Structure 1
Amino acid sequence: MVPEAEFSAAQTQLTDLKKAEQKTRIAGLIKGWKDKGLVLPANEAGLYEYMAQLEDAGQEFSFSKAEGGEGKKTPAQFFADFMAAQPPVIKIGGNGRVIDEGALDVNNTEAVTKAANDFMAAEEKEGRTISAANAVQHVIRTATDAK
């Protein structure tokens, strides 16, 4: 019979190995999603923890399939399949540069204003204050550089 202390140490080691394997697997999924443009770097925060929680739940659930019928998957499997089926949020060019297929129309005043306001809000969250004129210049320059 194995002493209780040895058994407990082996259980801890097994748990640590499972967590390390899970971390590697989830990090690989997220990297693949980023490489395909499915996840923006800004949206990556918390994604590992979310996926780990889904995996740790481990229960299967039933869902209806688009082609009819019913399927069963774990929440983590469902989410991974869902992500893999999404169109890219961004397109990565051959040189690794992000290509915005929904590029800003610099002749559309409303679109430029919205983009400038979004930029100013994002900068404000980072503790930086940008004037409206500088924000407009930035979004127009960014849109023209991307072309």
Structure 2
Amino acid sequence: MDECFNATLLPQITKLQPRENNNWDEFLLPIIFAYNTVVHATTDYSPFQLQFRHEPCLSTDEPSTSFLFNKPQDYYEQMKKNLSIIQRQARDYIINREQQYKNNYDKQRQDPHYEINDLLLLRIFSRSMLDKFVPFHLRDTHNPPPYLDHSQQQS
């Protein structure tokens, strides 16, 4: 999630900040507010709405003139009800989006099936950044070895 936020935040700061001044911190709060008030595709809600149960009220918005609550407790109960509905819908959107991501990812992936005694390449990591690949025969399809046994090292 941090990578997604950073990928959004950095280009916005770059757009607003003049090249010769180092005043990026002046633009941070408005950019974060804009990020938090935009509807995200994954949840179908803005982070502000998920946190505070309502859309943000700007100083340019007209204030509401009437509230229809018989008791002070009614407002709190309505807020709890709205929050549970929003969270349930956001959870459903996230699950749906995760499934879409998985389906798209799986389209590009191979599904290899290995049999016992198949010849595979085992990667041996080294400190010199030049990793080696050594052939070995698979002995157990459910538990491939993380390293070569003594006879395989000899060969």
- Calculate the TM-score normalised by the size of structure 1: 0.24
Name the larger-Rg structure.
Answer: 2
> What TM-score, normalized by structure 2, do the two folds share?
0.23
Q: If each structure's helix is expressed as a fraction of its own residues, which one has the higher value?
A: 1
